[in-house]
Amino acid sequence: MAEFADRLVVATTSEGKLREIRDALRPTALRVTSLSDLGWRRDIPETGSTFEENAIIKAQTVCDESGLAALADDSGLEVDDLEGRPGVQSSRFAGPDADDDDRNRELVRLLREAGGEPPWPAQYRCVLAYAQPGAEPVTFEGVCRGAIVPDARGSGGFGYDPHFLLPDRDVTVGEVSLAEKQAISHRGEALRRFVRWIQDRQGARS
């Protein structure tokens, strides 16, 4: 791989994702920069058909245009009764102007129409892609199994978190702290794998 980078751009405009990623990267020596720090204003088209493809597109685009190493996440919800939907469309399946409440209402509506009984089995999936100048992108994946409940519970997290039940604990992700979410979430798992990979390389240079 090319000379390892000390500075990293987190290629997201989601404040929730940025907060989780910054928190997870604290054990590393990376200097973390956001897209807003760079004055980045435009959306990156997510034209891939998988989380991995979209994560690589975003990381490589930011890396190429900024000249800096970039970390991008693509993640979403896969519901068993909806044959894996909304999947890569998780942030867009209720329409381009939909907010979290709109998406959650649409999700519950579709699940009720599908005819199954709640809670509906589902999983969160996350793929992180790391790109730096002169090297091929590297990816890291995490999955969190759970179920969807029809009524929101808790005000923490973002996205589908208040509807995503952790059955073994009988709480939704919206009801747990950021530290607890990092310990069990799909993004937390992918970030831990990335952090171990980073620390191995930082240790090799010391």
What are the catalytic residues?
74
Spatial separation of the C-alpha atoms in residues 24 and 19, rounded to whole Å: 9
Cα diameter, the chain = 58
Contacts of 32 (CB under 8 A, 6+ apart): 8, 10, 21, 22, 25
Spatial separation of the C-alpha atoms in residues 109 and 57, rounded to whole Å: 32
Q: At what angle do helices 186-205 and 15-24 cross, to 10 degrees?
A: 40
Contacts of 18 (CB under 8 A, 6+ apart): 10, 12, 34
Contacts of 19 (CB under 8 A, 6+ apart): 178
Q: What are the residue ranges of helices labelled H in the chain?
A: 15-24, 51-66, 100-114, 178-184, 186-205
